Amino acid sequence: MDLFLSGFAVFVIVFVILAIAIVFMGVTIVPQGFQYTVERFGRYTRSLHPGLGLIVPFIDRVGARINMMEQVLDIPTQEVISRDNAMVQVDGVLFYQVLDAAKSAYEVRDLERAIQNLAQTNLRTVLGSMDLDEALSQRDSINVRLLNVIDQASTPWGLKVTRVEIKDITPPLDLVEAMGRQMKAERLKRAVILEAEGVRQSEILKAEGEKKSAILEAEGRREAAFRDAEARERLAEAEAKATHDVSEAIAAGDIQSINYFVAQKYTEAMKEIGMARNSKIVLMPMEASALIGTLGGIGAIAKEVFGTPDAASPRPIRGSVPNSE
């Protein structure tokens, strides 16, 4: 009896241990950011999401542990021949994320190697269809084209390629030196063109300034000529009026008016002769009787203006012979 009890106790203990082991075998903990595939007799049935997962021991098993987080994959450096037969070395980086764990586990073998080879081949294809200058200056365009091609090719694998970036494009050393000389020549060309444009613009502005200056000067001369003509017209009107008044006075019998007019003109002529710059000494032959007669006329005018008592009968000029009847 004691032997039976001891054997039963051992069986219970073994059964309990086996049950606990089976329970532990059926419990799977999936960490955050991962998914586990479940295979039943080698066939995929479902995927376990992060947390506590249960499977049937000895029937189900965990197949692949798939990382569902976004991952970075380096594209190794490789030599690529451009469309203009330039040999360049190119490398890059690729970002991808698994969206379907079952496809990434069972649709492709060695997922990272497949993505890497896909990126390398498409990189050679894209750069091979471009000239070197385009490849160096249009990296954004290369990145977009690579992203579209690789993303479409990897969709059956349950992936989403989020970004492709070209890290470096290195031409040969001799080609770099030639590009440097070309850039220097291009910059010198642009400098000469800009200098010529500056000179051209300066000449244009100078010509416009001279044109405006000539126009303003011509307008000034026209205005001055108009003013001079107006002044001469006024002077002529004044002379005409003075001559008319003198003529009327003479016609009325006033002899002193003509004397005044002649004396005024004589004085103005003497003034102009005396103000000449190139005349230091003026010799003028004139008759004394004419000058005395003129002065006598001026004196008579003065007496008539100031109203002297004997203004009506002018005094005889010294040296003249009085008329005796």
Q: Do 160 and 151 touch, CB atoms closer than 8 A?
A: yes
Question: Can you tell me the distance from the alpha carbon of 286 to that of 294, in angstroms, rounded to the nearest whole number?
Answer: 12
pLDDT per 10-residue tile (average), the chain, 325 residues: 65 82 85 93 91 88 92 92 87 94 91 92 90 86 92 92 90 78 86 90 88 87 84 79 70 63 67 62 51 50 48 41 38
Name the residue type at position 280.
K
Q: Do 64 and 36 touch, CB atoms closer than 8 A?
A: yes
Q: Which residues of 192-218 are buried (b: 16+ CB within 10 A; e: fewer)?
A: eeeeeeeeeeeeeeeeeeeeeeeeeee
Q: Do 102 and 47 touch, CB atoms closer than 8 A?
A: yes
Beta bridge partners of 78: 90
Query: How far is CA 188 from each of CA 60, 133, 191, 194, 201, rounded to the nearest angstrom?
Result: 75, 20, 5, 10, 20
Query: How far is CA 308 from each of CA 243, 300, 301, 315, 317, rounded to the nearest angstrom?
Result: 27, 10, 11, 12, 17
Quick one: pLDDT at residue 67?
93
Give the number of residues written for the chain: 325
Quick one: pLDDT at residue 250?
66
- Residue indicated by tokens 């440097």: 180
- Residue indicated by tokens 């613009």: 201
35: nearest Cα among 17, 23, 24, 51 = 51
Quick one: pLDDT at residue 71?
93
For 308: left if phi > 0, alpha if psi spans -120 to 50, otherwise beta; the answer is: beta
Q: Which residues of 140-173 are buried (b: 16+ CB within 10 A; e: fewer)?
A: eebbebbbebbbebbeebbbebeebebeebebee
Question: Can you tell me the distance from the alpha carbon of 83 to that of 311, in angstroms, rounded to the nearest whole number?
Answer: 123
Quick one: pLDDT at residue 300?
54
Secondary structure class of 272 (helix, strand, coil) = helix
DSSP string, 17-59: HHHHHHHHHHEEEEPTTEEEEEEETTEEEEEEPSEEEE--TTT
Q: Do 120 and 75 touch, CB atoms closer than 8 A?
A: yes
CA dihedral 179, 176, 84, 128 (to 10 degrees): -130
